[in-house]
Amino acid sequence: MANLTEEIKKRRTFAIISHPDAGKTTLTEKLLLFGGAIHVAGAVKSNKIKKTATSDWMEIEKQRGISVATSVMGFEYEGYKINILDTPGHQDFAEDTFRTLTAVDSVIIVVDVAKGVEQQTRRLMEVCRMRNTPVIIFVNKLDREGRDPFDILDELESELHIDVRPLSWPIGIGAKFKGVYNIYEQNLSLFKADKQHVTDRVDIRDINDPAIDKAIGSNDAEKLRADIELIDGVYPQFSTLDYLDGLVAPVFFGSALNTFGVKELLDCFVRIAPSPRPVQAMERTVEPGEDKFTGFVFKIHANMDPNHRSCIAFVKVCSGVFHRNQYYLHVRSDKQIRFTAPTAFMAQKKEIIDDVYPGDIVGLPDNGVFKIGDTLTEGELIHFKGLPSFSPEMFKYIENTDPMKTKQLNKGIEQLMDEGVAQLFVNQFNNRKIVGTVGQLQFEVIQYRLLHEYGASCRWDPIHLYKACWIESDDEEALEAFKHRKRQFMAIDKDGRDVFLADSAYVLQMAQDDFPKINFHFTSEF
């Protein structure tokens, strides 16, 4: 078996996030191309249903199939083991993305040079900030007309609330795009539109090397020198430590589609991005180098084939080494479980693996044992934090439309909720079940999957709700008084915790003002 410390040091586990269409899929594919994991562009079929209308079921099913293959893409590059964790493109699945971000050690954000910072990027960055995740930004589509790079840098700082430091710099943009100057390594790459190949570099001594004038003409060379001087004057020297603390985001420019500026990004990434970091459990901090294995489930793919109840739980290894055929404690159920066919994810292949190291993701075949957030250990009772459910934004009553299939419906709802598709609240006043989601699409997915995977049919009834929030208080009496006063609006979540259903912002505000002893929480982890 390999040396644990060495294995940890060479691992880089990260996610690429962006607003849909900024180029996440294209960049992922180009990184795989560099890693030799795929050989032609176009091989990674994108994980997207965003362009199809909401009711294209074939697309959704296809997407579920594809997304198992692309959920984790591992490859080797220059002695590093890189794991890219895929995140759904569609914003209705934002919660999936949030959970995936709990399993990565760093993030690359892709921004479209013409569109700048868009809404979803802003939201995802908030999650990164909450967790101090180190972030690198790739400004994409420089081959198209776009905004001035200095403006983009200003916008990144003000919209994403993070200091930035360019480490590469574009020469021209759109039709006049000539290449990028690599500030980090002091070399120059000339642009050549090419989807399949990697561009050669022009080696230069420094920014004053006449080779630059020769390569791009003296006008552009002068402008480049002025730009670099300005950058060095305005932005402090890049500090890897500040990046690792989530205080500064290095910025690269390029064109993913043309495989341009991507190598600069990747080379810098493997050098500066963190190897697996310590993970915070409720009880203590778990260091990746500890002897004993620990890991947690951050994602579950269920029922890929309706004929077999086949699920796969994605476990992030936090410490020690996971071994095939060894018994591990499933902390929530207090059961010892052994896995005979754990799978590793290498690019688009799944293969059985014997030993899995911190930073890696292992896929465990599951027949309904796992829930999102479950911990596996060698016996220690620990619970990993950081897999919150967020207060949903849309709500509907779920009603059974086939009384003969009540059992199937309940089982289906329970499993889909364990998988993290949506959240279930049971109103304590009328006992009706309410499903909360972050997007309309989930209601359609749930209805479809209940029918196709469980043979149960349901109907959605409208409910007017603004927010569901978890409540608690140190003062039992105050809590009881609140629950009594608001009994029509009280529900419990799947773990039996108290949830207040506020039907308007005003009502919520009033409740907060009138009951100062009650704490209102907008994520399930508090």
Q: Which stretch binds ligand G4P (CB under 6 A): 16-24, 365-373, 492-500, 501-509?
A: 16-24
Binders of ligand G4P in range 52-111 (CB under 6 A) = 89
| Least distance CB 491 / ligand G4P (angstroms) | 36
Cβ atoms of 449 and 300 within 8 Å: the answer is no
Residue 49 to residue 89: CA distance in whole angstroms: 7
Three-class secondary structure of residue 398 per DSSP: strand
| Least distance CB 28 / ligand G4P (angstroms) | 8
Three-class secondary structure of residue 405 per DSSP: helix
Regarding 18 and contact with ligand G4P (CB under 6 A), the answer is yes
Binders of ligand G4P in range 220-259 (CB under 6 A) = 255-258
- CA–chain centroid gap for 75, Å, is 18
The number of residues that bind ligand G4P (CB under 6 A) is 19
- Per-residue binder mask for ligand G4P (CB under 6 A), 123-152, x = binder: -----------------xx-xx--------
Quickly list H helices, 161-245.
Answer: 210-216, 218-234, 240-244
Binders of ligand G4P in range 286-305 (CB under 6 A) = none
Give 140 or 303: the residue with its C-beta nearer to ligand G4P. Answer: 140
Residues 6+ apart with CB under 8 A from 452: 306
Q: Which stretch binds ligand G4P (CB under 6 A): 15-23, 323-331, 414-422, 496-504?
A: 15-23
| Least distance CB 257 / ligand G4P (angstroms) | 3
| Least distance CB 265 / ligand G4P (angstroms) | 12
| Least distance CB 32 / ligand G4P (angstroms) | 13
Q: What are φ and ψ of residue 92, in 5° steps?
A: -70, -15
Regarding 262 and contact with ligand G4P (CB under 6 A), the answer is no
Give 172 or 455: the residue with its C-beta nearer to ligand G4P. Answer: 172
Three-class secondary structure of residue 173 per DSSP: coil
> Pairing mode, if any, of strands 201-202 and 106-112?
unpaired
Give 143 or 444: the residue with its C-beta nearer to ligand G4P. Answer: 143
Which position among 21, 159, 213, 242 is part of the footprint of ligand G4P (CB under 6 A)?
21
Regarding 22 and contact with ligand G4P (CB under 6 A), the answer is yes
> Pairing mode, if any, of strands 179-182 and 294-301?
unpaired
Cβ atoms of 454 and 411 within 8 Å: the answer is yes
Q: Which letter does DSSP use for residue 503 in this model? A: S
| Strand locations in 220-341 (E) | 248-253, 279-280, 285-286, 294-301, 311-319, 322-323, 327-330, 335-338
Residues that bind ligand G4P (CB under 6 A): 18, 20-26, 46, 48, 89, 140-141, 143-144, 255-258
